[in-house]
Structure 1
Amino acid sequence: MRHLPISSDLFVENRAKLAKMLPPNSLAIVHANDVLPTNADGSLKICPNTDLFYLSGVEQEESILLIYPDAFEPKHREILFLREPTELLQIWEGQKLTQEAATAASGVTTVKWLKDFPQVLRDCMLGADQVFLNRNEHRRAAAVVQTRDDRFLLECQQQYPLHTYRRLAPLLHQLRAVKSGPEVDLIREAVSITKKGFERLLKFVKPGVTEHQVEAELAHEFISNRGGFAYTPIVASGKNACGLHYIDNDQVCNDGDMLLLDVGSNYANYNADMTRTIPVNGKFTERQRDVYNAVLRTMRASIEGAVVGKLHRDWQHEAQEMINEELVGLGLLTKEDVAKHTRDQPACKKYFMHGLGHPLGLDVHDVAPVDAPFAPGWVLTVEPGIYLPDEGFAVRLENDILVTENGPVDLMADIPVEVEEIEALMAAGK
């Protein structure tokens, strides 16, 4: 845990919100993620289960959270189950949560060891009428590997076949879409670290550096500030930027190239997601500037358009119509092309083929109800782009915003983005 401690009040409040959504006499259970194997006897560092973290603040492997608000026994209403920190375990793996430390972090007063889980589960199941179990229900998830939640679902249904089982994910998607003040503060910290990384790059980038050297500069700044990469960074020079998920980051940045940087820091499991496109030599050509400003105008207008009550699909369509007009001005589309535009076949698709943005939070592509309009507390990315493989470059710009009753708040408003800002800072770095 690199980040500073978070007040347990956040997690206490999150559990209270979930408890209010559960029907009478219902039980909910959430598991930690697996520690994934690599090769030989290797394994990856655990990626905390974001639902478990949202409800408890716990990031430790094999942990289980049980919530049973109507339990007859008060001690059964919230229970955390943890690996017991034996002497042998701590010799090999280091410090583990004690019961006292887990209570301090989560606000859960009843903390037990994993060996107690089967009996406590039986006691609770024999009293509960409905059981809410969790799965990864993100609409873009590639669910090809069975998770701890998946395995428990099968075991629980086999052992207790007469209960009514319900999906927990839709409830958590509703809750997690709306960020509380403390959550927004953690996202702002991730944004602040991202800004430091970008400003470091503006002083570093020049013809002859490699994409992986640029990535290393980011790693230094993020980790030095208690963060880390929110996702595998895209550091794409020249035509590489026309591959939307290019992550090789192994090419030389040449004089005259544009360098697309889709990078963001993670802080306390909350994420920033930023894209900037800069000239490797510090000076935009006239064509690069024109394309860049077209994307920038679209991003700024799309930020203003992210208002309470708007549906994502309508917001996306508005951006496509703006990009259509920009492409006409750039000589890439004709007015006749634009006249044929439809929602299903947008005129701009050849040059702007991806979504305008997505919810952001504990996951980079955070969970939210698919059909819900934007609401106060939603945090979104805004990322239009124009891709020109025939001209050897692309421009994408991305800021993170907070939706409020009084209009959108740009969380990245102080991160350089104007052409003049970029050129001045790169010149100062040299």
Structure 2
Amino acid sequence: MKYDLIPNSLFIKNRKKFMAQMKPKSIAVFNSNDVYPIGADSTLAFEQHRDIFYLSGADQEETRLLLFPDAMDKKHREILFVTETNDHIAVWEGEKLTKEKATEVSGIETVYWLSDFDKIFFDLMTEADTIYFNTNEHYRQAVVTETREDRFIKKCKADFPAHQWAKSNPILQEIRGIKEPEELDIMQTACNITEKGFRRLLGFVKPGVWEYEIEAELMHEFLRNKSKGFAYTPIIASGNNANVLHYVVNNQQCKDGDLLLMDVAAEYANYSSDLSRTIPVNGKFTARQKAVYEAVLRVKNDATKMLVPGTIWAEYHKEVGKMMTSELLGLGLLDKADVQNENKDWPAYKKYFMHGTSHHIGLNTHDYGLLKTPMKANMVFTVEPGIYIPKEGFGIRLEDDVVIQEKGEPFNLMGNIPIEVEEIESLMNQ
């Protein structure tokens, strides 16, 4: 890992929160992700399953975490299983977690080799009534491959048919949505790295550069600041490309007079940041571009103020829709008849602003977190309104990451990243 060691106090707290909600005489198991093959002897770069990372800090393949608060032997109430390393692995792949290092990272005293899992797990299951399965129930999930968790669940159901089953996901949705101070510090670091990348671009972008060159500049800045790179596939969309919401080919040349919409951000220590900015390729907004830009910025600023404890996510989006409708009327993109005759299931403003305004962010870009209950302090949300006008050849989206406060307005983790028209133009024309 490139990142600095995270204090294991974070993972100790996270496990305590999870175990406090487990049923009596129950076991929970969490598996690392697979290493995915792409052909021949090649694989994708390993990405740790965010749940096992959240609970242990173990950032290595072939890892399992077992939690059993009611285990008769106290040393078996928290167990981390890691792959046994050897000299051959050390030569070919580098250092892996030793038992001692695994304890240092996770705060878990009992560490076994993964080869011992089946024997120890069978013994502990004789003491347990319930097994928690870690299913993926995120509202955006679209998993089409069988995961290591899926295989584990199948085997458990076959091997232990008399046990009761429970779901870890509802607990994780609740506790992962509210960030600890250590998590907020890590996310601030990710946002700070993103800021460095964006400021680098303001001096680089000009007519004639290619979208992939901008991507390369960002990757350079992210890597040199201990990030693995992008927190998600970067969107670098010039001109009409900005009207494709998930434009990721990034293969067009930026032209004089175009706007450049970038939805790009760094990760740090597996935590995401999520930034959108729109800038003029030639360093100067036209009057029309500026008018639309400032409309989006007003919606973003007003929407941010609404992210306070007690807000309901669905109702919040309805209010943001009203704000956007007002701005679109002012820009002449909608008229009163459009609003009066709108389909309530797809309001008139959706023609120009068709996506949501906010989502949880943390270990995942679209993070776990409750959405049907009132918002709470220390939840972190994006705020990302946009206006997309294919007929005029541009789209604008602005996005920051904000922390809900117990009292007062949210804290903007990206508050130092330029967003005002005058500052962006000034920096691009230095």
Does the alignment reach a TM-score above 0.5? yes
Please tell me whether the aligned partners of residues 102 and 108 of structure 2 are also in contact (alpha carbons under 8 angstroms). yes
Partner of 1:427: 429
SS of match in other structure, 2:30: strand
Please tell me whether the aligned partners of residues 32 and 52 of structure 2 are also in contact (alpha carbons under 8 angstroms). yes
Matches within 5 A, 1:24-173: 24-173=24-173
1:340, CA displacement in angstroms? 3.5
Deviations 1:222-247 (A, max 9, x none): 00000121011100000000000000
Partner of 1:220: 220
Partner of 1:415: 417
User: 1 CA distance for matches of 2:243 and 2:173?
Assistant: 32
Instruction: Say whether residues 1:208 and 2:208 are aligned partners.
Output: yes
Please tell me whether the aligned partners of residues 231 and 263 of structure 1 are also in contact (alpha carbons under 8 angstroms). yes
Partner of 1:231: 232
Partner of 1:373: 374
Please tell me whether the aligned partners of residues 85 and 96 of structure 2 are also in contact (alpha carbons under 8 angstroms). yes
User: 2 CA distance for matches of 1:83 and 1:7?
Assistant: 22
> Please, what is the CA RMSD of the aligned residues?
0.9
Structure 1 spans left out of the alignment, 5+ residues: none
1:347, CA displacement in angstroms? 1.3
Please tell me whether the aligned partners of residues 312 and 371 of structure 2 are also in contact (alpha carbons under 8 angstroms). no
| Superposition TM-score, scaled by structure 2 size | 0.98
Partner of 1:244: 245
User: 2 CA distance for matches of 1:308 and 1:67?
Assistant: 32
SS of match in other structure, 1:21: coil
Please tell me whether the aligned partners of residues 260 and 275 of structure 1 are also in contact (alpha carbons under 8 angstroms). yes
Please tell me whether the aligned partners of residues 58 and 105 of structure 1 are also in contact (alpha carbons under 8 angstroms). yes
Instruction: Say whether residues 1:362 and 2:332 are aligned partners.
Output: no
The count of corresponding residues between Structure 1 and Structure 2 is: 428
1:343, CA displacement in angstroms? 4.7
User: 2 CA distance for matches of 1:341 and 1:26?
Assistant: 52
Deviates more, 1:315-324 or 1:377-386: 315-324
Please tell me whether the aligned partners of residues 264 and 275 of structure 2 are also in contact (alpha carbons under 8 angstroms). yes
User: 1 CA distance for matches of 2:344 and 2:400?
Assistant: 24
Question: In structure 1, what residue type is equivalent to 2:359?
Answer: H
User: 2 CA distance for matches of 1:231 and 1:344?
Assistant: 30
User: 2 CA distance for matches of 1:287 and 1:260?
Assistant: 16
Please tell me whether the aligned partners of residues 399 and 410 of structure 1 are also in contact (alpha carbons under 8 angstroms). yes
User: 2 CA distance for matches of 1:175 and 1:226?
Assistant: 27
Deviates more, 1:331-340 or 1:377-386: 331-340
1:308, CA displacement in angstroms? 0.9
Please tell me whether the aligned partners of residues 186 and 268 of structure 1 are also in contact (alpha carbons under 8 angstroms). yes
Question: In structure 1, what residue type is equivalent to 2:401?
Answer: D
Please tell me whether the aligned partners of residues 317 and 343 of structure 1 are also in contact (alpha carbons under 8 angstroms). no
Matches within 5 A, 1:259-298: 259-298=260-299
User: 2 CA distance for matches of 1:405 and 1:115?
Assistant: 46
1:341, CA displacement in angstroms? 4.4
Please tell me whether the aligned partners of residues 46 and 61 of structure 1 are also in contact (alpha carbons under 8 angstroms). yes
SS of match in other structure, 2:401: strand
SS of match in other structure, 1:345: coil
1:339, CA displacement in angstroms? 2.7
User: 2 CA distance for matches of 1:341 and 1:198?
Assistant: 38
Structure 2 spans left out of the alignment, 5+ residues: none
> Aligned residues: percent identity?
50
Deviations 1:326-350 (A, max 9, x none): 1111111002222344652211011
1:351, CA displacement in angstroms? 0.3
User: 1 CA distance for matches of 2:59 and 2:344?
Assistant: 42
